[in-house]
Amino acid sequence: MKRVIIIGATSGIGKALAVHYAQNGCTVGVSGRRQHLLKEVQEQFPANIFTACFDVCGEENIAQLESLIQQSGGVDLFIYNSGYGDVSETLDWAIDKQVYETNVKGFIEMTNYMFRFFEKQGHGHIVATSSIASNRGNSHAPAYSASKAFMSTYMEGLYMRSKRLHIPIAITDIQPGFVNTKDAKGYGRFWVAPVDKTVKQMIHAIEEKKWRVYVTRRWQLIAVLMRVAPGWLYHRIA
């Protein structure tokens, strides 16, 4: 039986992933900031799902993560799905600070811990939900794009490290485009994918242990165009 930890699972993609793995007989530890939403998820699968209510911007990340691992009887698959982003036209420091603490500090603190945990264990799989925004900067939300670039680059580094160490630690960087969740923000949204389609493609990528995947798949085209666009053009539209 696979043991799964999902950080950020009270709604949207994280909740759908938790439900999928619980339905398939996995032991699932989930976290989030809203206790009542965690309780709703747990009540669907009381024998499979364990919870820990905490904010990744706080100082209890590792203690709470260790609690989830203990409740779940270990961990084989770790998914960091917590994320925050908002338009910051005036470079609002409150927004940028929360972006940093969620998408950078919380992410690296827990992912670093899990890589070392899996290194000692001898196997494991780390998944992170970054974003198509990781490919270039964005004038409307510069901190968000930068934070997702940090996540994606760090995940690539872990992938390379696992290969160098010859340890079977799979690394999967998932870069979604626009997904139809209540927290989704951004100008000019297009190709907005439903949560179920997004999660289905994510699960396939996780099962295949792909190191990087774009969801939905058509967003790979956008990623390529973003990377090859010359600055004089890209800087006029983003």
pLDDT over 80 at 181, yes or no? no
Give the pLDDT score at 8: 95
Task: Note the Cα 148 to chain centre separation in Å.
Answer: 10
pLDDT more than 90, % of the chain? 80
pLDDT over 80 at 190, yes or no? no
CA distances from 32 to 39, 82, 159, 186, 219 (A): 10, 8, 26, 23, 28
Note the pLDDT tens digit of each residue in 61-81.
999 999 999 999 999 999 999
Note the pLDDT tens digit of each residue in 203-231.
999 999 999 999 988 888 888 888 888 99
Give the pLDDT score at 73: 94
Give the pLDDT score at 1: 67
The rounded distance, in Å, linking the Cα atoms of 153 and 160 is 11
Q: Where are the beta strands (DSSP E) in the chain?
A: 3-7, 27-32, 49-53, 77-80, 124-129, 169-176, 212-215
pLDDT band for position 237 (50/70/90)? confident
Give the pLDDT score at 192: 82
Domain boundaries, position 186: 3-237
**What total of structural domains would you count in the chain?**
1
- For residue 189, give the CATH number of its domain: 3.40.50.720
Give the pLDDT score at 186: 53
Decide: pTM greater than 0.85: yes
Instruction: Read off the pLDDT of each residue in 185-208 and give the average, rounded to a whole number.
Output: 84
Give the pLDDT score at 123: 97
